[in-house]
Amino acid sequence: MLVLALVVTAFVGCGPKAPTEAEKPAEPVVLRWNLGADPRTIDPQLNAANEGGHVINNTFEGLMRELPEGKIEPAMAEKYEISEDGKTYTFHLRDAKWSDGQPVTAHDFEYAWKRALNPNLVPEPSEYSFQLFYVKGGQEYFEGNGKEEDVAVKALDDKTLQVELVAPTEYFLELTGFYTYMPVRKDIVEQDPENWARRPDLAVSNGPFKVVEYKMGDRLVLEKNAEYWAADKVKIDKIEAVMIVEDSTALTAYEAGELDVLHNVPNQEIPRLLANDPSFYIRPKVGTYYYNFNVTKKPFDDVRVRRALTLAIDRTAIVEKVSKAGEIPASGFVPPGLHDDKGRDFRETNGDFGIDVKAAKVEEAKALLAEAGYPDGKGFPNFEVLYNTHEGHKAIAEAIQEMWKQNLGLNVTLQNQEWAVFQDSRHNGQYEVARGGWIGDYLDPMTMLDLFTSYSVLNDPQWRNKDYDKLIEKAKVTMGEERFNTLYEAEKMMMEEMIVSPIYYYVDKLAVKENVKNVEMVGTGHWWFGYGEIQ
Task: Check whether residue 499 and residue 524 sit in a common domain.
Answer: no
Task: Check whether residue 492 and residue 521 sit in a common domain.
Answer: no
**Domain presence at residue 345:** yes
**CATH number for the domain harbouring residue 431:** 3.10.105.10
Q: Say what the pLDDT of residue 20 is.
A: 56
Angle between helices 362-371 and 303-311 (to 10 degrees): 160
Task: Check whether residue 530 and residue 389 sit in a common domain.
Answer: no
**Domain presence at residue 1:** no
pLDDT tier, 441 (very low <50, low <70, confident <90, very high otherwise): confident
Instruction: Tell me, letter by letter, the H, E, C secondary structure of 60-124.
Output: CCCCEEECHHHCEEECCEEEEEECCCCCEEEEEECCCECCCCCECCHHHHHHHHHHHHCCCCCCC
**Domain presence at residue 278:** no
Exposure of 3 in the CB half-sphere (CA atoms within 13 A): 0
Task: Check whether residue 529 and residue 480 sit in a common domain.
Answer: no
What is the mean predicted confidence (pLDDT) over 169-185?
Answer: 95
| Total domains present in the chain | 2
% of the chain beyond a pLDDT of 70: 95
**Domain presence at residue 303:** yes
Q: Say what the pLDDT of residue 14 is.
A: 45
Residue span of the structural domain in which 72 resides:
30-240+513-534
Task: Check whether residue 180 and residue 199 sit in a common domain.
Answer: yes
pLDDT tens per residue, range 355-374: 999 999 999 999 999 999 99
2-6, 322-326, 340-344: the lowest-pLDDT one: 2-6
CA distances to 205, 324, 448, 451 from 506, in Å: 31, 12, 13, 18
CA distances to 38, 50, 263, 474 from 35, in Å: 8, 10, 8, 38
Angle between helices 247-255 and 391-408 (to 10 degrees): 140
Task: Check whether residue 446 and residue 519 sit in a common domain.
Answer: no
pLDDT tier, 333 (very low <50, low <70, confident <90, very high otherwise): very high
pLDDT tier, 153 (very low <50, low <70, confident <90, very high otherwise): very high
**Domain presence at residue 500:** yes
**CATH number for the domain harbouring residue 81:** 3.40.190.10
What is the mean predicted confidence (pLDDT) over 19-34?
Answer: 78
**Domain presence at residue 266:** no
22-36, 260-274, 282-296, 315-329: the lowest-pLDDT one: 22-36
Task: Check whether residue 431 and residue 492 sit in a common domain.
Answer: yes
**Domain presence at residue 9:** no
Task: Check whether residue 204 and residue 304 sit in a common domain.
Answer: no
Is pLDDT of 55 > 50?
A: yes
Task: Check whether residue 520 and residue 375 sit in a common domain.
Answer: no
Q: Say what the pLDDT of residue 22 is.
A: 54
Is pLDDT of 199 > 70?
A: yes
Task: Check whether residue 398 and residue 307 sit in a common domain.
Answer: yes
Task: Check whether residue 365 and residue 454 sit in a common domain.
Answer: yes
**Domain presence at residue 314:** yes
Q: Can you give the pTM of this predicted structure?
A: 0.81
What is the mean predicted confidence (pLDDT) over 417-438?
Answer: 95
pLDDT tens per residue, range 228-239: 999 999 999 999
What is the mean predicted confidence (pLDDT) over 203-228?
Answer: 97
Task: Check whether residue 470 and residue 517 sit in a common domain.
Answer: no
Is pLDDT of 3 > 50?
A: no
